[in-house]
Structure 1
Amino acid sequence: MSLLNLGEDTWIREYVSCEKLYRDIMGLLSQRQREPKTTTHYSQLSASVRLYLKQYNNEVTQLKEKLDHISKTQLITYDEIERRVRQIEILKSKGINLKKVFDTPIRTLEHDRDQLLGTAGGSSWDSDEQLIEKPGGVGDIISQHKRLLEDQEKGLENLSKIISRQKNIAQTITTEVSLQNEIIEDLGEHMDRTDGRINTETKHVSIIGHKDNTCMYWITIHTYATEANIHIGQKSLRRGVK
């Protein structure tokens, strides 16, 4: 089953953070492509991208390790695990493309384009368009990003359905527990009434037993008294006869 204890899903939160870092790197790469290679701003952008790429790869690795741990504890469904594995693979592929764009000098791309088109030069605008259209460039990254967002939306929809089902299960369990508690309370009250009746009947039996013992005493005394009177009467008759 999925998420038995649904607190905050830290994996999704870190995945969204990794996605945001990817967009930030892509923005920096776009800025760097518009800067001449010899400028200070170009160097600053390159240093920032290099640092963010390292952070990006670390976060992707951490996502993979946490997903392995979650899959062992069986907190999410198999389909959800497979979906997250695909998301991680996409993140890795995007990281490779980012690194490829970062390592490919802009001037080299322009030179290759000029050789292919047979032109001696061109505007920086044409160079940017050529870079975007080049496979593995920023344009390909944007397309992958759109596909990833679609996958993420589908994953969130599936997660919402899972949470809804678990909520219904929790409500059903709560209702059943309440019903069982009412049955237990009624049973307890019935047992209390039964105990009271048993105690009352026990007292009655004790009283009756005590009365029975007293009655036997009186019967015995009466018997002895009767026999004594008979004996006395017999003696009196004998004396009268004499």
Structure 2
Amino acid sequence: MALVYVDTDPWLSEHEACEKLFREIMAQLTLRGTEQKTSQAYARLSSAIRLRMKQYSSEVQQLKDKLSEASASRSITFQEAERRSRQVELLQSREVQLQQLFNDRNTVYDANRSKLIQTRSTVFADAGTTGWGLDDDDDDAGSYQTQHMSIAELRQQQQRMVQDQDQGLEALSKVISRQKEIAETIGNEVDTQNEIIDDLAEHMDRTDSRIRNETRQVTVIDRKDKTCWYWVVIILLFISILIVSFV
């Protein structure tokens, strides 16, 4: 809800809008108090109240800021500034009141719930030791039977919950076992791959060594081959010289 300027002094109009918003929030809090905490209506009202409370806080802060500006510029008298300051303080105290009312609903609900659980536990404990105090009256017998059936149903429900938990734990155990088997398989595969990599590394080292040896042999042979041709040429030249000399 935006602040509306309908008066000659906008600050007064905004103050009136804040008071109207406060009354609307209070009405919503009252309506929420009639709903069950687990209902959808309660959730919707809580969300709406939370938004309106944020809006209320923002508008009160705007009034406070504008009052400070008016006081600093002396556009209003000192007495009027004091009066408006008290009005802002009242709005701020109402904001605290709204927050307490909004939170107290949850606190009361949790307290009542804890009290109810504690009371039921005490009743069940007394039922186990005293047998619910049976009399000869038919009404008392019927009441005992109803209460006894409630305890039996509660025990059955607890047994079903325990069984469900056991089944869940068993399923979880199977999943963990499968994960362990997968992890062991992956570990074995990694070990195998490491062995293969080591064998490849050794084979590559041997191959590299052989290549170096063959390279050296080829170099020696090449050198010897070149030297042999040199000697052949020298011998041929020597024979040619001898033939020329005798002729």
Same fold (TM over 0.5): no
Question: If the TM-score is normalised by the length of the shorter chain, which range does it land in?
Answer: 0.3 to 0.5
Q: TM-score, normalised by structure 2?
A: 0.44
Q: TM-score, normalised by structure 1?
A: 0.45
